[in-house]
Amino acid sequence: MINRRRFLTIGSLAGLIPSLSFRSKKSASGLVSTLSSEPTRLAAKPIVISTWKQPKANAAAQAVLDKGGRALEAVEAGVRVPEADPADMSVGYGGRPDRDGHVTLDACIMDERGNAGSVTFLEHIMHPISVARAVMEKTPHVMLSGEGALNFALAQGFKKENLLTKKAEKEWREWLKTAKYKPIANIERHDTIGMLAIDDQGNISGACTTSGLAYKMRGRVGDSPIIGAGLFVDNEIGGACATGLGELVMRTCGSFLVVELMRQGRTPQQACEEAALRIVKKQDYKDIQVGFLAVNKKGESGAFSIQPGFNYTITQQKQTQVIDAKSYLK
Ligand code: SD4
């Protein structure tokens, strides 16, 4: 499907983003700019779509939708899979710690009514997404952080656990020998999961959960739990989520921007591309990865990243595929 897509050169779209100097061909620096003329994937509902290679998470979400469940239930069930999987070292249990050796988690969730819940800097709880959902449904707030989030989780019956696996600890101790902190595109194997789903009723929900950047400063919170940055859903329009270096996504309200661009008429693919170009235009992106993923109300979807290497998993009509996203740099 991806190879069959037609692309417009950015030159013909210069009116949309006037101040970028677009190139229609590969330049000396290797930059290529494109905005697609078609959505990446044609509409089909229900749909589950998630950042990176997450077939098991999509299967768990799809199982909920197969029973006629809400998209909200689906995305929660879906992202709980990598949260509990120690092999996924960017999410939940087994996540890489901060520079002081603590696993700290960020997550958020949004439903079709525009309700939102979020936890940041949460420690010791395997399923931050479920705590985020409890914040949404059981408190008058949107976001709880740190000790307050942990106390709330414990009061809700969540169990306190050690989330630092031997493997993650060993790698961290190795890192301590040089303790150089420089996030590099894809090298940290970004597996943060952002998931969007549309259910039988046509309702959209989303979830995003991560242990954040490996060896981050203690207390650092990324884009993933920030409504509008790591995730945004507007049931009239669509949903979007982001992965990669959160600082770049937060500075541009990335997921909100993608949804707003879809509101203005962009396809999900075009919206993801334009949001990535916004970052490229304003930020130092050279070694940095950011990927966007979006779905609109019709069930069309799209994805785009700054660096090559970003992929996503889509489940539609009972078929699951992992697709390489187009990228700004080649
Ligand atoms: C963050 N956006 O904390 C997250 C990291 C990420 O895959 O996406 N990793 O900045």
Cβ(181)–Cβ(151) under 8 Å?
A: no
Asked, for residue 32, whether it belongs to a domain, the answer is no
Asked, for residue 119, whether it belongs to a domain, the answer is yes
Residue 15: predicted pLDDT: 28
Asked, for residue 273, whether it belongs to a domain, the answer is yes
Determine if ligand 1 sits within 6 Å of the CB of residue 190. yes
Asked, for residue 1, whether it belongs to a domain, the answer is no
Determine if ligand 1 sits within 6 Å of the CB of residue 116. no
Question: What span, in angstroms and rounded, lies between the C-alpha atoms of 100 and 106?
Answer: 17
* Positions marked active-site: 192
Question: What span, in angstroms and rounded, lies between the C-alpha atoms of 103 and 121?
Answer: 9
Given the CA of residue 220, which atom of ligand 1 is nearest to it?
3
Question: What span, in angstroms and rounded, lies between the C-alpha atoms of 119 and 201?
Answer: 28
Residue 296: predicted pLDDT: 97
- Kindly report each contact of residues 249-254 with a partner whose C-beta sits within 8 Å and lies 24 or more positions away, as own/partner: 249/222, 249/223, 249/279, 249/290, 250/222, 250/223, 250/226, 251/279, 251/282, 251/283, 252/278, 252/279, 252/282, 252/283, 253/228, 253/229, 254/223, 254/229, 254/230, 254/279, 254/290, 254/292
| Residue range 213-250, pLDDT digits in tens | 999 999 999 999 999 999 999 999 999 999 999 999 99
Q: Looking at the 3D structure of the chain, how many domains does it have? A: 1
Burial of 169 from C-beta contacts in 10 A (0-12 / 13-18 / 19+):
middle
Asked, for residue 89, whether it belongs to a domain, the answer is yes
Q: Any idea what the CATH number is for the domain that residue 316 is in?
A: 3.60.20.30
Ligand 1: centre distance to CA 192 (Å): 6
Determine if ligand 1 sits within 6 Å of the CB of residue 222. yes
Asked, for residue 305, whether it belongs to a domain, the answer is yes
Determine if ligand 1 sits within 6 Å of the CB of residue 255. no
Residue 191: predicted pLDDT: 78
Determine if ligand 1 sits within 6 Å of the CB of residue 276. no
Asked, for residue 81, whether it belongs to a domain, the answer is yes
Residue 184: predicted pLDDT: 64
Which of 105, 118, 243, 255 maximizes ligand 1 atoms within 8 Å of its Cβ, making it the mutation to test the pocket? 243
Percentage of the residues of the chain whose pLDDT score is greater than 90 = 79
Look at strands 204-210 and 193-198 and give their pairing: antiparallel
Look at strands 290-296 and 238-244 and give their pairing: antiparallel
244-266 mean pLDDT: 97
Cβ(205)–Cβ(71) under 8 Å?
A: yes
Ligand 1: centre distance to CA 253 (Å): 14
Could you list the residue range(s) of the whole structural domain that residue 77 is in? 47-327
Question: What span, in angstroms and rounded, lies between the C-alpha atoms of 52 and 291?
Answer: 10
- Which tokens hold the place of 197? 């789903």
Asked, for residue 17, whether it belongs to a domain, the answer is no
| Residue range 143-177, pLDDT digits in tens | 999 999 999 999 999 999 999 999 999 999 999 99
Look at strands 143-145 and 116-122 and give their pairing: parallel
